[in-house]
């Protein structure tokens, strides 16, 4: 009997592993596509059937970071020989890198990328910080109309945010917040706060209040007890919430597209704007997208232990 069950368990295990593998492949396919395109020579990017084996090159990244113009006539061989390797790749493509004097002119990509970082990091810190305090309040104190307030906070997520895009745009224009970092940060904090409050409340509820009460009795103030006892206990929850908030803010497209166009434009609306007219340069776009994926991947990787615990414990229960 035991042997029968064991063999069926083994079979189930194999099926489960196969399913996980297939799912992983499906999830990884687009990432592989982007990554491989980012390193492909231009002409292979759109080849049918797709090329799997090719000699990788970094020319797409050079194009991504520089301003270029089409050459009218072939480059002077002496200039070509004097050029550094990466500039030669550009000449090979029939283009020339724009310069002011000797300095290479950078494309807008680094600025846009920086904008994304500034907006995502600051809005995440604010949303998670405010969410943690709010959740602590809801979790530990008797608050009149607690259920209604929590529902009200949640209700901000009940409509797709794009529905309010036009009124928001008009309001932002009047108060002068459009195309500013602070404007986007306010928006993203507003989106993420409800999520952060609810998630953190789940985690806070699971920290026994006895810990803080022991600290209170030991002579600590509520604030000291919060920072010394509650916050370290909530680290897992904070990490999980931060990852989710960061991803939301980092990936946000619609509002960034509507609210910003120059100074504060983030990477998501910028990257597709580079498709331009004529034949799109897919390798450069893929290079931009590939770099854009890295921060989220790194952030998630660093917090992976917390994240796994955060998703499996807390939040979901209760």
Partner 1 sequence: MAHIELKNITKKYGSHTALTGLNLDIADGEFFVLLGETGAGKTTTLRLIAGLDKPTEGQVLIDGVDVAGWGAAERDVALVLQQYSLYPRYTVRQNLEFPLKPKIRRLPDAEIKDRVARAARTLRIEHLLDRKTDRLSGGEMQRVSIGRAIVRKPRVFLMDEPLSALDAKLREALRTELKNLQMQLGATFLFVTHDQIEAMSMGDKVGVLNHGRIVQTGTPHEIYNNPRDTYVASFVGSPPMNLIDGRLVDDRAVMAPMNFELPLAIGAKAFGGAKASGATDGRPLVFGIRPEDVYLESGAPVEARVHDVENHGVEKILTLRVGDTMLRATVPARTDVAIEEPVRFAWNPDKVVMFDKGSGVSLRHAG
Q: How far is CA 58 from the centre of its chain?
A: 24
Contacts of 64 (CB under 8 A, 6+ apart): 107, 109, 284, 287, 288, 291
Contacts of 95 (CB under 8 A, 6+ apart): 63, 68, 69, 70, 71
| 231 close to 239: Cβ distance less than 8 angstroms | no
Q: Which is nearer to partner 1, 236 or 289 (CB)?
A: 236
Give min distance, CB of 215 to partner 1, in A.
7
According to the binding rule CB under 8 A, does residue 221 interact with partner 1?
yes
According to the binding rule CB under 8 A, does residue 214 interact with partner 1?
yes
Give min distance, CB of 207 to partner 1, in A.
10
How is residue 101 written in tokens?
Answer: 């004097």
According to the binding rule CB under 8 A, does residue 248 interact with partner 1?
no
According to the binding rule CB under 8 A, does residue 223 interact with partner 1?
no
Q: Which is nearer to partner 1, 84 or 219 (CB)?
A: 219
Answer for which of 85, 102, 210, 294 binds partner 1 (CB under 8 A) is: 210
Binding span for partner 1 by CB under 8 A among 105-113, 180-188, 210-218, 280-288: 210-218
According to the binding rule CB under 8 A, does residue 215 interact with partner 1?
yes
| 97 close to 90: Cβ distance less than 8 angstroms | yes
Give min distance, CB of 235 to partner 1, in A.
9
According to the binding rule CB under 8 A, does residue 184 interact with partner 1?
no
Q: Which of 297, 280, 212 is nearest to 60 (CA)?
A: 280
Task: Please give the C-alpha separations between residue 100 and each of 69, 78, 105, 118, 121, in angstroms, as whole numbers.
Answer: 14, 20, 7, 28, 33
Binding region for partner 1 (CB under 8 A)? 208, 210-211, 213-221, 224, 229, 232-233
């Amino acid at each position: 009997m035991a042997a029968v069950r064991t063999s069926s368990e083994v079979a189930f295990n194999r099926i489960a592993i196969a399913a996980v593998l297939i799912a992983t492949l499906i999830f990884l396919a687009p990432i592989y596509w982007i990554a491989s395109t980012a390193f492909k020579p231009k002409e292979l990017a759109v080849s049918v059937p797709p090329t799997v084996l090719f000699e990788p090159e970094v020319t797409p990244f050079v194009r991504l970071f520089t301003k270029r113009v089409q050459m009218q006539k072939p480059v002077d061989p002496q200039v070509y020989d004097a050029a550094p390797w990466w500039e030669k790749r550009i000449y090979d493509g029939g283009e020339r890198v724009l310069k002011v004097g000797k300095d290479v002119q950078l494309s807008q990509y680094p600025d846009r990328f920086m904008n994304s970082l500034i907006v995502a990091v600051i809005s995440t810190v604010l949303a998670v910080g405010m969410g943690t305090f709010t959740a602590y309040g809801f979790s530990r104190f008797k608050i009149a109309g607690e259920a209604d307030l929590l529902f009200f906070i949640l209700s901000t997520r009940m409509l797709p945010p794009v529905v309010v895009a036009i009124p928001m745009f008009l309001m932002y224009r009047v108060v002068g917040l459009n195309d500013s970092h602070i404007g986007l940060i306010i928006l993203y904090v507003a989106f993420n706060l409800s999520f952060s409050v609810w998630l953190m409340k789940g985690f806070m509820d699971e920290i026994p209040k006895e810990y803080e009460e022991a600290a209170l009795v030991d002579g600590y103030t509520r604030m000291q007890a919060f920072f010394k006892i509650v916050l370290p206990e909530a680290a897992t929850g904070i990490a999980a919430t931060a990852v989710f908030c960061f991803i939301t803010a980092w990936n946000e497209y619609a509002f960034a597209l509507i609210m910003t166009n120059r100074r504060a434009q983030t990477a998501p609306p910028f990257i597709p704007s580079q498709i331009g007219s004529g034949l799109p340069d897919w390798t450069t776009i893929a290079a931009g997208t590939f770099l854009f994926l890295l921060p989220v991947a790194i952030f998630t990787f660093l917090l992976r232990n917390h994240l796994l615990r955060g998703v499996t414990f807390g939040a979901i229960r209760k």
